Structure 1
Amino acid sequence: MKKLKLILPVIALALFSCDNYMDINSPSPNDLAFSQASPSKLLPGAQVSAFRVQATTMNQLGNVFMNAWTRNVMSFGNGFDRELQLQIDNGFYNGIWDGLFVQLKNFDAIIKYPNDSHKYDLYVAAAKICKAHYMSQIVDLYGDAPYSEAWQGNANLTPKYDDDYAIYKALITELEDARSILGNYDPAVAEDFTPYDVMLNGDTAKWIEFANTLELRMCLRMSACTGAKATYRDSKLADLSSIINNGGSFLSANVVVNPGFSADSNAQQNPAWGYYSYDAAGTILQNRTFICMTGHAYKALQSYATTNWAAFGNNYEIVPGSGINYPNVTDPRSATMFTAGASGAPRRAVTQGSSVVDVTTPTGSLTGLALPCRVGLSGNFNPYNQAATTGYDGIDGFVMTKSEANFLAAEAALRYPSLFNDPQGQFEAGITDNFAMRNVTAGPAAYLAAINAKANFGWTGTDTQKLHAIMYQKWIALMGVNNSIQSYIDYNRTGFPVTPMSTIAVNPRKPYRLIYPVSEYVANSANVPSVSTSEIYTVNSKTPFWVPGAP
C-alpha cells in the first residue's frame, strides 16, 4: 500500500508539467515545477499514465481493427462508425499520439536528469526501456515522428520529424544502453528504485528480460526489410542470440504495472477495469454494454457444430478467396473471454457492420432480447485468478505478457533457426500461458492436440502456415483487455492472421498507418508531413519503413 500514495500526486505532476501552457494562472505553490522533479517522482506516474493509453485507446483500436470487438446493435444505434467504415482522418484516435508523447517527455526527462554520480542509474535504465516500448509503437502506427528534437519544451516548440528507421535504431541503442547499466551498476552508489518502480518492483533481471524481448519484437518488425536495413536487423538478432545462448532470457513472467490499484476512487482503479467495466462505485460503464463479440471471433473460437453456419450458406472460408477455412475447433478460452449477454441465454455475436445479431448456436434464437456476448470478466480482468484477494479494480495492468514473448520467440526460431531454438515449444508455451491467464479450468493439452492437426492454426504444415498459426494464436492471446494493438501492427507486417473486413468498410483494406493528429497540424505545421487519407491505404514513402514493400 506504500505505493498507493504515489498515484495521484505523480499523475498530477505529469499533467501539470506538460500541459500547463494552457493555464493563465500562476502555478500553485503546492505544485512541483517540472525542472524540480527527480526521477523518483517522475517514474511511477509515467509508468501508470503511459499504460493507461495502451490499455484503453490503443487496445480498443486493436480489437476493432482486428475484428474481435464490435458494437452491441441491440442496445446502440451507432458507435465504432469510423472504425468499421475505415473513415480515418487527423481526428481519428488522437489520444494515442497525444497521450504517449506526454509520458515520453517524462521518461526522456529521467534519462536527461543530472546523474554524474550515477545515483539514478536504475531509473535511467528503466526509463530507456519504457521509452523504447512506447516510442516504437508511435513509429509502428505513424512512421516518421519527432525524436531527436522532441521533449525540449520552450527550447524547441516545433521539433523536426526524424526518419522512422533512424528512430528505431536509436531506440535499440537505448535498450542496449539500459542492459549495460543494469548489468554494471554499482549498488553502493545507485539508489534502489524498488519503492518507485511500479512495473517490475526494482527487479533488474526482469528489466533486462523486458529489454531483450522488446528488441526482439523490434527486430521482427523488420523481418521483411532488405538491403542495409536487413543487415542491421541480422546483426542485432545475432547479438540477441548470443545473449540468450549465454544465460540470458526473454520474458519469464508478465510485465505488469500496479502502484496499488484499488476501488477507493475512479482514479485509483486499474485503468482497463475503469474504462471497460465499472466505476469505483460499482456503476456499470457504457463500454460494458456497448462492446460485444464479433461474428468473426465467434466463428474462430467455436466449432462448426456449435455455430449457425446454415445462415451463412455453410461457407466456412474466413475471407472469400483466401482458401483458409475457420479451424472448426471449440476453444475453451472463448467461454471466459466472452460471456453471454444475459444470464442463461445462448452465446450470440454480431458480424462487423451488421445491424442485427446474426451469429449464435445452431438452435439459438436471434429474436426478442437477443443480446450478444460481451467482454468476459474472468478471462480479461481476473488473470490467473488473482481477484480472489485483490478485486477486479486492483488487478495488475499488463504492459507485455509472457505469451506475447513466447510467440515472438516462436516466430524468431521459425524465421532464423540458426539463431533461435524450439519454435514449436515456444508456440505451445504461449498458448499454455494464455490458458492459465484466461482462467480456463481444463488444461490446454486437448486443445493443443486438436489445433496442432489444423494447418494455419496449429503447429503443422508449411512454414507459411506455421507463421499464420503464430499470428492467429497471438491474436487470441492479445484479444480483449490485453494490448490487442500488437496484432494489428503484426497484420500490417505479415498479412496474418487472415481477417475479414467490416461489411460497411468504404476503403479496400485496413490502413497501413494512422494520420498525424490535429495537435501536430496546429502546433507543428512547418514540420509535420502531409498525409492524405488515400495514402494510408497504399505502400509509399510515408508508410512505416518495415511494412513489406516500403522504400
Structure 2
Amino acid sequence: MKKLKLLVPILAFAFYSCDQYLDINKSPNQLEFDKALPKNLLPGAQVSTYRVQVGTMNQLGNVFMNSWTRNVQSFGNGYDRELQLNLDNAFYSNIWNGLFLNLKNYQAIIDFSNPEGKYDYSVAAAKICKAFYMQYIVDLYGNAPYTNAWQGNDNLTPTYDDDYAIYQDLFQNLEEARDLIAAADPAVVEDISGFDVMLQGDMDRWLEFANTVQLRLCLRMSEVTGAKATFRDQQLAEISGGPFLTDNVSINPGFSGATNANITPMASTYFYDSGSNNIQNRTFIAMTGHAWKSMQSYASTNYPAAGSQEIVPGSGVNYVNLTDPRSTRLFTGGIQGNAVGPRRAVNQGSSLVDVGGPTTTLPGPPSRLGAQGNINPYDQAQIFAGVNDGTPDDFFTVDGFIMTFSESCFLRAEAAVRYPSLFSDAQNLFNQGVTDNFLMRNALIGTYLTTVNASRPNFGFTASTTTAQKLHAILYQKWIALMGFNGIESYIDYTRTGYPLTPLSSIAIQTRKPYRLIYPTSEYIANTANVPNMTAADAFAVNALTPFWVAGAPN
C-alpha cells in the first residue's frame, strides 16, 4: 500500500531507529527483511506500532473526545477539520497507513519457518500484537484487507474481508497464542526476554495481555445481537476466569535523549526535542472547556449562567461538580510573562480563551499539557522523589504505555455490569482503576474517590443505581485515565456506547461524531478495484459501511 504523508501539520512523526534493532520500516510492499529473524523483527514492530498509537491515533481521540483543542491565543488555525468534523480520504490517513505498514512485520514473524517450535514465543507475541492493532483498523474503518494482506509484491491489491470475519480471526489468533505459550518446549523455544521490549519475555504476562485484549474485543461487541452475540458470549466464557492484566503493558527499548527519534515518543511528539526545547505541540495543544468543567467544581468555574452546567443540552446530566486533583497534573497554566500563569481553557470552537476560575482574567494563555501528568508516569522521572529537578531531559527515558492496568480494571468492571453471570467485583475494579490512575498521574487522591462514589451518580460507581449510570461512571473514569496518551480508545468507547457524554465543538458541521473514518487516498490510488466506495456522509450514518459492532449496523 502506498504510504502518504499525514496531512496534519502540527503532529511530528518519527519512526523508531535504534542501532541494536533492524530498521525494517521501509515499504509494506518490499521484502527487504526476508532473512530477518523474529528477534530482529519483533522489537521494531512493537515500537513502530506504538508510535502510531501514541501519535496520530492519540491526537485524534483526544480532540474528538473534547479533551484537547488549539491554543487560540497564539494560533489562528489548527484542528479545524477535527472540530468541524470535516472528513475526507486524507483525514488522518496515517492511522491506516501506519498500522498496515507495521502489521506486516508481525505477520512476517507469524509466517516465519518454525518447524521445531523454536520461535513459538515470538509467534505468540506477534499474534497478540496483531490482534491488538488490527482491532483498531476494524474499529475505525470496518471492512479491510486481511486474508490477502501483507503479501508484498505477490499481491499489491488485496481484497477486503468482512469486518466481523476479521474479528473472528483475531479471536483465533489469541487462542493460538495462548496454546503456543502453554505447549512451548522449554528445551527448544527461544527466550525472547532480550528483545521483547514490551513484556521482557514474561509469558505469564503475555497470557494476561491476550485475555485482556480478548475482553476488549468482546466488549466492542456489547451491542450485537443474534449469532454474533452468541459468539461473543462463547468468547467471554472462555476467558471469564482470567488471568487479566495485573500491571501495565509498557514499552521501552532503551529510550534516551541521544536524538529526537530516541526520546520516549510521548515526550518527543508533544513536549520536547533532544535539545530540551519545547516543540510546537507543547504550545499548540490547549485544555478544552469540557475537560476543565469535567474536573473542576462549579465554584471554581466561570459558568456563564446558573443552570448551564449540563454536559450536553437535553441529556439531563450535569458536570460532576468536584475538583479532580488530576486536572492540574494533566494541564498546567500557560506561559505568561515568562512564567507559568493561571490555568485557563478553551471551549472547542471558541475563538477566545473563555473558561477559567471566576476571578481569572480572560482571555489569556490557556492551560497546556502538563509534564507530571502525561510524561512522568508513577514518577519514573524521579521528580517527586527529589532525585531530578524536572528539566526536559529527565523525561526522555520514561516508558510508553500500550495498555494500562487501569484500563484493564475498567474493562473488567464494565464486563461485570453487563455480564454478571461471568464477571463480578465491579465496585472494587472501578476503585482500583481510579486509584491506579491517580498514582500514574502523580496526583494525591485525597477524598476524591470517596466523594464521587458516595454522591455523584454517573461519575462514581456506588452512587450510580441504574445500568446506564454505572456504565457512564466507568467510561467517564476510563476517559480521564486514558486522556493524553490513548485518546482513541475513549473515542471508540463513545462510538460504541455514547458514553461518556461529550459535547460537540460549536463549529461542528455534523450533528454527531463519526462512526468511522474514510478509507485513505492511498487505497483509492493503489487498490482501486477493491476499496469500498464511500462518501463523507457514510461516516456519520449507520449503514453497510459502519463497523459491525455499532448498534443497528446491518452487516
If the TM-score is normalised by the length of the shorter chain, which range does it land in? over 0.9
Match of 1:351 in 2: 347
The Cα shift of 1:450 comes to: 3.3
The amino acid across from 1:416 in the alignment is Y
Structure-to-structure mapping, 1:432-451, within 5 angstroms: 432-440=435-443, 442-451=444-453
Change (3 A) 1:120 1:229: same
The amino acid across from 1:196 in the alignment is F
311, 319, 329: which one pairs with 1:326?
A: 319
Whole-Å separation in 2 of the counterparts to 1:257 and 1:412:
27
Whole-Å separation in 2 of the counterparts to 1:100 and 1:318:
34
Whole-Å separation in 1 of the counterparts to 2:45 and 2:156:
21
Q: Is the 8 A contact 2:141 2:518 kept in 1?
A: yes
Change (3 A) 1:517 1:452: farther
Match of 2:489 in 1: 486
The amino acid across from 1:207 in the alignment is W
Match of 1:397 in 2: 400
The Cα shift of 1:155 comes to: 0.8
The Cα shift of 1:19 comes to: 6.0
370, 373, 378: which one pairs with 2:372?
A: 378
TM-score (norm: length of structure 2): 0.93
The amino acid across from 1:303 in the alignment is S
Match of 1:250 in 2: 244
Match of 1:124 in 2: 123
Change (3 A) 1:173 1:449: same
| Per-residue CA distance 1:317-350 (angstroms, 9 max, x = gap) | 0011010000100001101011011345221000
Asked whether 1:470 is paired with 2:474, we answer: yes
Match of 1:98 in 2: 97
Q: Is the 8 A contact 2:197 2:253 kept in 1?
A: yes
The amino acid across from 1:477 in the alignment is A
Structure-to-structure mapping, 1:201-280, within 5 angstroms: 201-241=200-240, 244=241, 248-280=242-274
300, 310, 316: which one pairs with 1:317?
A: 310
SS across alignment from 2:139 = helix
The amino acid across from 2:318 in the alignment is N
The Cα shift of 1:453 comes to: 1.4
Asked whether 1:16 is paired with 2:19, we answer: no
| Per-residue CA distance 1:159-197 (angstroms, 9 max, x = gap) | 000000000000010001101111221111001111110
Q: Is the 8 A contact 1:329 1:451 kept in 2?
A: no
Match of 1:39 in 2: 38
Ranges of 4+ aligned residues in structure 1 off by more than 4 Å: 9-12
Whole-Å separation in 1 of the counterparts to 2:420 and 2:455:
23
Instruction: Tell me which moved more, 403-412 or 388-397.
Output: 388-397
Q: Say which structure is richer in helix.
A: 1
414, 422, 427: which one pairs with 1:419?
A: 422
- Give identity over the alignment, percent: 59
540, 550, 554: which one pairs with 1:547?
A: 550
Whole-Å separation in 1 of the counterparts to 2:171 and 2:20:
28
Indicate the RMSD between aligned Cα atoms, in angstroms: 1.4
| Per-residue CA distance 1:490-547 (angstroms, 9 max, x = gap) | 1011011110000000011100000000000000000000111011111111000000
The amino acid across from 2:79 in the alignment is F
Change (3 A) 1:12 1:509: farther
Q: How many equivalent pairs are there? A: 525
SS across alignment from 1:399 = strand
Q: Is the 8 A contact 1:340 1:347 kept in 2?
A: yes
> Which consecutive unaligned segments of at least 5 residues does structure 1 have?
1-5, 22-32
Match of 1:27 in 2: none
The Cα shift of 1:8 comes to: 2.5
